[in-house]
Structures are given as structure tokens and as C-alpha cells.
């Protein structure tokens, strides 16, 4: 991974402007407006149904806002797809193919040839590129790591991770947090939707609290704001 | 505007009544088929109305798809203009003129083709935004109703005259059946799809369906030349008095179709308004609770 | 090569490798096709003289059933782990995915047809009276007509509640001209009574029209949430 | 001439289908208006 130069002056690269997202009668996002700076690690917290995943999918260009706009690096999310990596609950990998084969295929989608980048990503998440077993036989922790490897394959400037640590063993989780920490230091902007806020305490620059489809609070630490959430 | 609907209803009922009277009494009895031929005054107008409604659905769907992406909007605009220009010139060129069936005037063919782009631009102006999709849905649904009538009255006509319930060789009836299937599958897709972009998918299917219609005609037409079979209503010239009653009946059904379509249109708008109100209600509900109990904190820079 | 062909080739190779690796889907489909043929043989007496006139229809309806069951599996592997989201987020062109899936389906359905055809020939002891070579374009163009629309509608019905029934509901009405062309063409060739030339041209037109429409509209379908 | 039976059958069928469809429209109108009233009064 190339190491970025000195810490960049805070410039907002992700702007969300009064976004409403309606699924039929249910409004998942109810007027979200926010700006997020380059090179910072944001944790998005909140109960189920608060709209965390919908917001992340909107940032990734997978969900079209019913109203309002989102701009990433000044472009709309779908145009900025080369610069963003997305990871979701499901693995987004083929179960019958090994990790290496999966990554080689997805590298092709980004026009990247050669195996060294794939092997590099796999090693970065602490897995063995030579593993021939199908991803379907991986443990949950290994599968999440391989999914993360796929998300960082094309060295994106923006990472959008949906619950990367969910039901992952503590060891794997700590490794992944360490990896994300290094990437943030390398200048990447990271968004993590999670229920395990404590894992990111002291690592994430900002904790964004969401409830009922809105951002209700943005704090520097996961703990201090605990009592303000009803 | 509100008063227009009842007035139109009265006019339509009067027209339908008079058309019925003409169809049963004024129109002469057919030499061959006797009085049963009078089914034509309901069968054929319903078919024409159905085809017109399906055409409206096609234009609205193309417009809806084109509007979603600016690049495709200008492309489709130029295609529409191209069709208009070709439609204006082609029928008068000698080679093309020879191909036009005897009964039709080249001028008539030209005007009908030019109507397509004209209608395309009118629909764009009169039905902004979401209403375009409502128009597509309405015209498809009401079109299917008229199409059902054609498929019911067709066999009821063929049975006494040819002793058969269904004439597969008859292009018009068979292609009407295929169109009925296509637009019913269109309505089924709208009902079953729970995607946020159902409207887009439905518009895509509508374009597919419309592209299919000429191919349906083509395949059945050739199939019929190889296996000649009786044709319902027969071709050839009609007695002018009969033609007059037919056209009058069609006008009455067009009025009726317009009224049914208009109310279905308003029903759909009401349905979307209710849906919007539900969403907004949950929105307003949330704001009320979140703004009071939680102080919106300073953003942590 | 530009990204379109690269992605198309990579996706096609991946699909074929996965299909070859877990041959269970292929075996199940082959067995299903065999069943369809046997049921047709029992329900339509193969020895009757006029069977020559109806066997064209039988063959293609059997192919249609086998194709629909195969087409329903088109996106199954992608849906299992929402792999399509990874595709949607990538800069890869949507049409490359569509063409790869269509060609993959075409090969898959052709394999099924290659199995079913000899069975029909054996059970109905067919011998062709008309120009037999015309059967080749009829089969290729006809199968592509079913597959290109089938792949498109399979993608469209991914977002509907009862996915399996949705595909045939969308595919069959629109495929009627193609089915008529295939059946009438095959019968014309088998009986040798009239030329299948027109039907080949009809199928070619059908394929061009719907391949273009699919390529133009697949992006919309892929990115529909 | 029993053929005329088919004529009346066709005419009647036409209006049965139309009126049935209009009936569904009226029913749906009522249901939606009622929902709107509920929503309206809900706040």
C-alpha cells in the first residue's frame, strides 16, 4: 500500500445533502445531511432499522436516494466507483471458488491483471493466498477477511464496510481493526457500520450515531455519548 | 375541472346509447351473416381502442425510460423526429406507394405515421414526472380490459358464422390474444415486483412487448398464407352505412375509454398520495420524537 | 482488449468453470430434459404417420421447458451471496455481464438440446424430407431467441416475490413469434412441403431486435434495487 | 335464428366486463379515500 504524504488538510470528500430514502411506505432515511472529511475513520452506530446500512449502500451507489443528493470526490457515487470499496453482510464472493480465484475475477472487473495484487490483498488481511478450499468452507472470520480483501483489492480511496466484525472471533476482529487503522493512516477514508463500537474506541476518529433514519449525534468517542442515546 | 367529469359521463352515455340504437336498428342486415354480424360494432371498436391504449403505453414507457438518462433522451428525440420525417415523405414515393394496400390513401398513411412523434412530444409535456408512469400503467390496464372484450366477442362471432370457436389463422384475433398475454404479464410484473425501480422495469418490459407486436403480426401473417383459414369479419369493402355506424360506435367507445382511463388515472394518483402520506407520517412522527428528546450536538471536528 | 470483452470473457470462463466444477446442476438438467422427452413420447404416439407434422412442435416445446428451467438458474449463484452488489459497485460494464450470462446460457441450453435431439430422432424415427441443413440456423437462432430474452427476464424477475414463476410469465408471451418461427420452420423442413427460408429470416430479425433491446436496457435492470 | 343469441351474448358480455372493471375501480376508490381520511385524522 502506498503511504500517503503528511496528513491532508481536512477537505470534505463525502457530502450528503438532505437525503430521503423511501421503500414504499417506509422511509429508511429521513433527511440525512452531513459532510465527511478525507482520511478519517468514521464509525456509524445505531439500533437496527436506524438506516445505517441504507446510508452506506447510498454512499456506495447501490441505493438511489428518493430525494436529496450524495457526492463522493465531487462525483455521484456510481461515477466514483473506481475509488470506493464496498463490503456487506453477505460475503459477495462465490462459495465454490477459492479466495484467490474470486479475487482474480473481481480484479478483472477493475481491469487489474496479474495475481500479485490479489496475493498482496489476501496477505494484508492475514490469509494465505495458496488456500485452495472454496470460500464456502471458510470460517465466518476468514470469510469476512476475504470479503475485506476483495473490497481493498483495487486500492480504493474510500472504504465502505457494513459490519465487518459481526460474529468474527476476537483475534480476527482485532487484526482487521489494526489493518483499517493502518489504511486510515495511509490516507484512506473509512466508514464502518457496526454494533461493536468498543472495538473502534480510540481508533475511529468520529462516531456517527443514527436513529430512525437520521444522524442524531456525532461524537469523538463511543463511550461519552452512551448516556445521551435514549 | 371537477364539473367536466359528470358532463362528459352524460355525453358518453348518450353516445353509447345512440351507437347501440344504430348498431341494432339503423345498420342494414348483412347479406351473408344476417344480424349476427352486428357483433362487429362492439368487437372492432374495442380492438381499435385497445390497440390505441397499448400504443399510449408504449410511448409513455419510451418517454419514461428516455427521461431517466439525459443522453438517451436526446437520442430518442432524434429517432422520433426521424420517424416523423420518413412518415411524411415515404408514402408518396412510388415504390412505397405501390405497397400500400388498395383501400388506404397515402395521405392517410402519412398522417398516422407523423402522429407518432407528435404524440411523443405531447405526452412529454402533458404528463411530467411521475405522472408519465401513471399514464403507462393506466393505459395498459384499461387496454387489457378492452382486449378481454375483443377475445370474448371474437369467438362469440366465429361460432355462429363458421361453427368454430377459435380461428388460429385469423391474424387479428390471434395477435390480439398475444398482445393480451403480453400486457397481462406487464401488469403481473408491476404487482409482483417489490423493487424500488418497479416503474423502470415495467417500462422496459413495455418496450419489449411493443417491439414484439409487429413480429407477432409478421409470423402469424406468413403462417396464415401457408395454412389459409377463415378470417373473422372478412376483408374487402364495407357498405358505407355500416362503416358510418362502426366509426360512430368507435367514437362512443373512445369517449368511454377516456372516462374509464381518466378515473383509473385519478385512482392511481390517490393511491400514490396515500402511500406518500404514510411515508411522510412516519417521517413527521420521527422528527417530533428526535428533535425534542435529543439535543442535536455540535459536530465533532 | 477493452474492458467489455475482458470482463465478458472472464465472466464466461468463470461460469463455465463453476458449472464444470459442480456438475450437479448440469446432471439434474440433463435428466430433466430426458424426462421431458419421454413424457412427450408417451403422450404423443410416435408411430402415427402424421407425427411428422407435430414433432416439430414437440421438439421445440420440450426445448422451451428445458430452457426455462435452465434460465431460472442463471442468477442463482450470484444471488446466493449477493455477488451482484460487488458487480454493481465495480466499473465493469453491465452489458459485459449480460452477454457473458447469455452466451453461458446458450451453451448450456445447446448441450441440453444436443442430448434431447437424438432421443427425438430415435423415438420418432425421424428422417428429414426437406433441406436438412436449414435445421442448423433454425436451432441456433431459435435457441438464442429464447436465451437472450430469458436471461434478461431472469434478471428482471430477481426482484419479484415469486421468482420461479415470474420468468415464464414474462418470457412466454414475448417469445410466441420466435416459437412459431421455430416450430413452423422445423415442420416445414421435416415435411419438406414448404421452405423454411422465411422463418429463418423472422428468427434473425427477432434475435437482432431483442438482443439490441436487451443490451440497451440491461443496465437499468441490473441497477434496480 | 338462434344466431342472434350470440349477438346479445356478445353485447351483454361486453358490458358485464366493463361494469365489473368499473366496480373494482369504485371499490378501490372507497378504500383509498377511507385510508386517506384515517391518515388525515391520525396526526
User: What is the spatial distance between Cα B157 and Cα A86, in angstroms, rounded to a whole number?
Assistant: 62
- CA of C128 vs chain B CAs: smallest distance (Å): 20
Residue C105 predicted with pLDDT over 90: yes
Is B touching D (3+ C-beta pairs, cut-off 8 A)?
yes
Would you kindly state where each structural domain of chain C is located, as residue ranges?
3-222
Residue A230 predicted with pLDDT over 70: no
Would you state the pLDDT for residue A160? Answer: 94
Q: Identify which of B3, B58, B89, B92 has the alpha carbon closest to the alpha carbon of residue B211.
A: B58
pLDDT by residue (tens digit) across B3-52? Answer: 888 999 999 999 999 998 888 888 777 777 778 888 889 999 999 999 99
Chain C residues with CB-CB distance to B201 below 8 A: 156, 159, 220-221, 224
pLDDT by residue (tens digit) across B121-141? Answer: 888 888 887 899 999 999 999
Q: In this structure, are strands A41-45 and A67-72 parallel, antiparallel, or unpaired?
A: unpaired
Confidence band for C48, pLDDT divided at 50, 70 and 90:
low
Residue A220 predicted with pLDDT over 70: yes
Would you state the pLDDT for residue C112? Answer: 92
Residue B285 predicted with pLDDT over 70: no
Residue A45 predicted with pLDDT over 80: yes
In total, chain B counts a number of residues equal to 301
Q: Which of D14, D25, D29 sits opposite B42 (nearest CB)?
A: D14
Question: What is the value of pTM for the model shown?
Answer: 0.88
pLDDT by residue (tens digit) across B230-283? Answer: 665 555 567 788 888 889 999 999 999 999 999 999 999 999 888 888 777 766
Please check whether residue B39 is in contact with residue D6, taking contact to mean a CB–CB distance below 8 angstroms: yes
Is C touching B (3+ C-beta pairs, cut-off 8 A)?
yes
pLDDT by residue (tens digit) across C150-188? Answer: 999 999 998 888 888 999 999 999 999 999 999 999 999
User: What is the spatial distance between Cα B213 and Cα A144, in angstroms, rounded to a whole number?
Assistant: 49
Contact A218 B293 (CB under 8 A): no
What percentage of chain B exceeds 70 in pLDDT? 87
Segment C94-98 shows an average pLDDT of 94
Domains and CATH numbers, chain A: 12-228 (3.40.50.300)
pLDDT by residue (tens digit) across D1-43? Answer: 577 888 899 999 999 999 999 999 999 999 998 988 887 754 4
With an 8 Å Cβ cutoff, is B276 touching chain D?
Answer: no
- Tell me the DSSP string of A28-71: EEEEEEEEEETT-EEEEE--TTSSHHHHHHHHTTSS--SEEEEE
* Mean of the per-residue pLDDT values of chain D: 86
Chain A residues with CB-CB distance to C7 below 8 A: 108-109
Reported as half-sphere exposure (CB side, CA atoms, 13 A), residue B255 has a value of: 20
Would you state the pLDDT for residue A150? Answer: 93
Residue A1 predicted with pLDDT over 50: no
Contact B39 D10 (CB under 8 A): yes
Confidence band for B57, pLDDT divided at 50, 70 and 90:
very high
Residue A225 predicted with pLDDT over 50: no
Would you kindly state where each structural domain of chain D is located, as residue ranges?
1-43
Q: Which of A64, A92, A105 sits opposite C10 (nearest CB)?
A: A105
Distances (CA, A) of C180 to A207, B29, C210: 63, 38, 16
With an 8 Å Cβ cutoff, is B118 touching chain D?
Answer: no
Ranking A54-63, A178-187, B18-27 by mean pLDDT, the lowest is: B18-27
Would you state the pLDDT for residue B228? Answer: 65
Chain D residues with CB-CB distance to B260 below 8 A: 18, 21-22, 25
Amino acid at each position: 500500500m502506498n503511504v500517503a504524504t503528511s496528513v491532508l488538510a481536512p477537505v470534505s470528500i463525502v457530502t450528503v445533502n438532505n437525503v430521503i430514502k423511501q421503500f414504499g411506505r417506509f422511509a429508511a432515511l429521513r433527511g440525512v445531511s452531513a459532510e465527511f472529511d478525507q482520511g478519517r475513520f468514521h464509525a456509524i452506530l445505531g439500533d437496527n432499522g436506524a438506516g445505517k446500512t441504507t446510508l452506506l449502500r447510498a454512499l456506495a451507489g447501490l441505493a438511489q436516494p428518493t430525494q436529496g443528493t450524495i457526492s463522493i470526490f465531487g462525483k455521484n457515487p456510481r461515477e466514483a466507483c473506481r475509488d470506493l470499496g464496498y463490503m456487506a453482510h453477505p460475503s459477495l464472493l462465490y462459495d465454490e471458488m477459492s479466495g484467490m480465484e474470486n479475487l482474480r475475477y473481481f480484479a478483472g472487473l477493475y481491469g487489474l491483471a496479474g495475481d500479485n495484487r490479489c496475493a498482496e490483498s489476501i496477505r494484508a488481511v492475514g490469509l494465505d493466498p495458496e488456500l485452495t478450499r472454496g470460500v464456502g468452507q471458510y470460517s465466518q472470520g476468514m470469510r469476512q477477511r476475504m470479503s475485506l480483501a476483495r473490497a481493498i483489492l483495487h486500492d480504493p480511496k474510500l472504504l465502505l464496510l457494513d459490519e465487518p466484525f459481526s460474529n468474527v472471533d476476537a483475534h480476527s476482529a482485532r487484526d482487521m481493526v489494526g489493518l483499517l487503522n493502518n489504511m486510515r493512516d495511509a490516507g484512506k477514508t473509512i466508514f464502518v457500520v457496526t454494533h461493536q463500537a468498543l472495538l473502534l474506541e480510540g481508533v475511529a476518529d468520529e462516531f456517527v450515531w443514527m436513529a430512525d433514519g437520521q444522524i442524531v449525534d456525532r461524537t469523538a468517542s463511543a463511550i461519552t455519548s452512551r448516556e445521551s442515546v435514549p | 375541472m371537477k364539473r367536466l367529469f359528470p358532463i362528459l359521463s352524460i355525453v358518453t352515455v348518450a353516445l353509447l346509447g345512440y351507437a347501440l340504437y344504430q348498431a341494432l336498428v339503423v345498420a342494414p342486415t348483412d347479406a351473408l351473416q344476417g344480424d349476427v354480424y352486428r357483433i362487429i360494432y362492439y368487437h372492432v371498436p374495442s380492438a381499435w381502442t385497445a390497440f390505441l391504449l397499448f400504443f399510449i403505453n408504449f410511448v409513455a414507457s419510451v418517454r419514461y425510460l428516455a427521461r431517466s438518462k439525459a443522453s438517451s433522451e436526446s437520442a430518442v428525440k432524434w429517432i422520433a423526429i426521424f420517424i416523423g420525417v420518413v412518415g411524411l415523405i415515404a408514402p408518396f414515393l412510388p415504390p412505397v406507394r405501390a405497397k400500400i394496400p388498395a383501400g388506404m390513401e397515402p395521405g392517410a398513411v402519412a398522417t398516422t405515421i407523423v402522429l407518432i412523434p407528435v404524440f411523443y412530444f405531447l405526452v412529454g409535456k402533458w404528463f411530467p414526472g411521475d405522472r408519465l408512469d401513471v399514464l403507462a400503467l393506466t393505459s395498459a390496464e384499461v387496454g387489457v380490459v378492452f382486449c378481454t372484450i375483443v377475445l370474448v366477442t371474437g369467438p362469440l362471432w366465429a361460432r355462429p358464422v363458421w361453427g368454430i370457436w377459435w380461428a388460429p389463422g385469423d391474424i387479428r384475433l390471434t395477435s390480439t390474444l398475444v398482445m393480451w398475454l403480453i400486457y397481462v404479464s406487464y401488469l403481473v410484473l408491476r404487482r409482483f415486483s417489490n423493487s424500488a425501480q418497479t416503474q423502470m422495469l415495467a417500462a422496459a418490459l413495455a418496450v419489449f412487448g411493443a417491439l414484439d407486436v409487429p413480429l407477432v403480426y409478421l409470423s402469424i401473417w406468413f403462417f396464415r398464407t401457408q395454412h389459409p383459414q377463415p378470417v373473422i369479419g372478412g376483408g374487402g369493402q364495407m357498405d358505407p352505412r355500416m362503416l358510418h355506424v362502426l366509426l360512430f360506435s368507435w367514437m362512443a367507445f373512445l369517449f368511454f375509454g377516456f372516462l374509464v382511463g381518466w378515473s383509473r388515472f385519478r385512482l392511481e394518483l390517490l393511491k400514490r398520495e396515500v402511500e406518500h402520506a404514510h411515508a411522510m407520517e412516519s417521517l413527521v412522527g420521527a422528527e417530533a420524537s428526535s428533535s425534542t428528546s435529543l439535543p442535536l450536538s455540535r459536530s465533532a471536528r | 482488449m477493452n474492458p467489455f470483452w475482458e470482463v465478458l470473457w472472464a465472466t464466461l470462463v468463470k461460469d463455465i468453470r463453476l458449472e464444470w466444477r459442480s456438475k450437479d446442476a448440469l446432471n439434474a438438467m440433463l435428466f430433466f430434459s430426458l424426462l421431458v422427452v419421454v413424457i412427450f413420447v408417451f403422450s404423443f404416439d410416435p408411430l402415427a404417420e402424421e407425427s411428422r407434422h407435430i414433432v416439430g412442435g414437440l421438439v421445440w416445446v420440450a426445448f422451451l421447458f428445458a430452457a426455462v428451467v435452465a434460465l431460472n438458474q442463471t442468477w442463482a449463484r450470484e444471488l446466493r451471496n449477493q455477488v451482484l452488489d460487488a458487480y454493481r459497485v465495480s466499473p465493469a460494464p453491465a452489458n459485459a455481464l449480460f452477454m457473458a450470462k447469455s452466451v453461458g446460457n446458450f451453451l448450456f441450453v445447446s448441450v441440453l438440446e444436443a442430448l434431447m435431439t437424438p432421443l427425438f430422432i430415435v423415438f420418432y424415427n425421424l428422417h428429414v424430407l426437406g433441406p436438412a441443413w436449414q435445421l442448423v440456423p433454425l436451432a441456433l437462432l431459435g435457441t438464442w431467441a429464447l436465451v437472450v430474452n430469458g436471461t434478461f427476464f431472469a434478471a428482471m424477475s430477481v426482484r419479484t416475490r415469486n421468482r420461479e414463476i415470474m420468468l415464464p410469465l414474462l418470457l412466454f408471451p414475448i417469445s410466441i413469434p420466435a416459437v412459431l418461427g421455430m416450430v413452423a420452420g422445423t415442420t416445414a423442413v421435416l415435411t419438406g412441403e414448404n421452405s423454411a427460408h422465411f422463418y429463418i429470416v423472422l428468427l434473425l430479425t427477432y434475435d437482432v431486435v431483442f438482443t439490441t433491446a436487451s443490451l440497451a436496457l440491461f443496465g437499468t435492470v441490473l441497477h434496480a434495487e | 335464428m338462434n344466431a342472434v343469441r350470440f349477438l346479445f351474448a356478445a353485447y351483454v358480455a361486453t358490458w358485464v366486463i366493463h361494469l365489473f372493471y368499473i366496480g373494482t375501480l369504485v371499490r378501490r376508490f372507497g378504500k383509498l379515500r377511507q385510508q386517506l381520511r384515517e391518515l388525515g385524522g391520525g396526526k
